[in-house]
A and B are shown apart, each in its own frame.
Chain A
């Protein structure tokens, strides 16, 4: 039982991080139907910015988190404006290849400047490495903070999307771009705003992963990026609650598979789960089947 609870705690913390990254994928997909492969690398850049501001600028954890989020917001908007906007009316596969190009560009530019080696995150202040013992279950302050920060960010996101004018514009553009434009919504600005939001969340996830695993490297974005995308598809792509659910399902599956001794196979299990869900419910766990019109 304790073993199980411990896995639940671990699954929740890693799942929160996947969910944060998956939100960016799902919002971008919802609005321009693009698998933004560069998203995983925005998350990597966030981890490095957090690292730099903690170890070189000597800022504390929360300020670094905000700095990383701000930097990623700017990066996300630049990527959208420079690489994706000129392709608004091209085929989707061309945009996808561009996204892959941007992803490689971020990875290898980062590698050029910081070198390919792993770097350890600076030590955290005392209170964050505190641990709590509940019987056999050990919860670190860090895990509590990861889950709390993720949930707070998700609530903020939900507020922005549901309650503000910009959120309304986002929902309108994702439903019907042309109609939204006719209603006087600036589609380009709305898309940029979506990228800004998603990238900010990815930046936060980067810093959280950096402190959780205590290591960053320029290629760290590839696999978590893929898995976060899997999470978004699993929950139903384009749906914000779907990304959350998917993130937590993937996190739980991974920790569970690792805990019963098959940690080498956990990526395969995650992808197998995805294929099974797609076969039986192609629109994802929370998605509705859309009938095709001729």
Chain B
């Protein structure tokens, strides 16, 4: 069988197992309301991390403002579903939020993506802070008190479709011509430009696509947790997303997914010790970065070939070869 088809089949199988597995566990009652909330957090974080990874990991543009896009999505979805509490309203809210965020990403990205490295980071951080302060002051967003009583439409089906959809769309984008442009820009912007890659276009595209999916995550968050306020989308949230991306490995989609799940598990385990939770979390962060600065996965992906390498049969042949080499 051709390896590409094999890999697609394997991924579809994993997705199907996850979907049916969770569905069964919910039916049986093993996943209770608390675990469901954790699950939603994991999925929201996966969408956020994968979309930020596109910008930071694959295009090499260091953004510290992802929470700003999340806020746009969350408020759009909340406001539209509150005035139109149907499934159609939910879809409309998600779309409006995502398109609005992509537009803001485009408008902010076009001038600021010319900036390199840390300057871009600080400009995007500024953008997210501006969005937060505006939400604190606008009439429609109800200021610091935030919006509550948002109708809940997110269930496991929606969650699965949106999360898996984001992962599939972003990995397909990365395999497309435009995605390869982005990776070329990360590797060496000047070299990429000299072979005809329009680097500003590639960066702006990646930034807008990242913003689009960031807003979807915000919409899912708003629609599941009933309640949003501007402070949820502050500097710390942007940092949290970045931490997931870096812990998983810059330029590794499966790394982002693993790190999102891992962090949620760690934070659930630490729930009984609220006063030392953040201390331990920050210690883990520092220790991990000191000893494994490339993140859990580096820039590799979890794939069939990686698994087959781990199988014992292969390893034996490998050692035999090295033995022969030595001889």
Residues of A that sit less than 8 Å from B by CB = 29, 33, 35, 83, 86-87, 90-95, 97-98, 100-105, 107-109, 111-112, 222, 226, 229-230, 233, 237, 264-265, 267-268, 271-272, 274-275, 278-279, 282, 292, 294
* Chain A residues whose C-beta falls within 8 Å of the C-beta of B286 in the assembled complex: 83, 98, 101-102, 105
3 nearest CB pairs, A to B: A101-B285, A271-B126, A94-B293
> Could you show 5 A-B contacts with beta carbons less than 8 Å apart?
A87-B290, A98-B289, A101-B283, A103-B282, A275-B130
Interface residues of B in 25-64 (CB under 8 A from A): 56, 62
Write out, one digit per residue, whether chain B residues 240-266 have a CB within 8 A of any chain A CB (1) or not (0): 001100110010000000000000000
Pick the most buried of B114, B130, B289: most chain A CB atoms within 10 A of its CB. B289
Does B276 count as interface, using CB distance less than 8 angstroms?
yes
* Chain B residues whose C-beta falls within 8 Å of the C-beta of A95 in the assembled complex: 289
B290 touches A86 (CB 8 A): yes
Write out, one digit per residue, whether chain B residues 126-152 have a CB within 8 A of any chain A CB (1) or not (0): 110110011011000000000000000
CA distance A102 to B275 in the complex (A): 17
A/B pair count, beta carbons within 8 Å? 119
User: A14 → chain B, closest Cβ, in Å?
Assistant: 18
Residues of B that sit less than 8 Å from A by CB = 56, 62, 108, 111-112, 114-119, 121-123, 125-127, 129-130, 133-134, 136-137, 190, 235, 239, 242-243, 246-247, 250, 275-276, 278-279, 281-283, 285-286, 289-290, 293-294
CA distance A294 to B189 in the complex (A): 10
A265 touches B133 (CB 8 A): yes
Given A98-B290, A275-B112, CB of A112 within 8 Å of CB of B122:
no
CA distance A83 to B291 in the complex (A): 11
CA distance A98 to B287 in the complex (A): 8
B119 touches A282 (CB 8 A): yes
CA distance A105 to B276 in the complex (A): 10
B279 touches A108 (CB 8 A): yes
* Chain B residues whose C-beta falls within 8 Å of the C-beta of A275 in the assembled complex: 108, 112, 123, 126-127, 130
Given A267-B129, A275-B123, CB of A94 within 8 Å of CB of B289:
yes
Pick the most buried of A90, A97, A98, A109: most chain B CB atoms within 10 A of its CB. A97
User: A293 → chain B, closest Cβ, in Å?
Assistant: 10
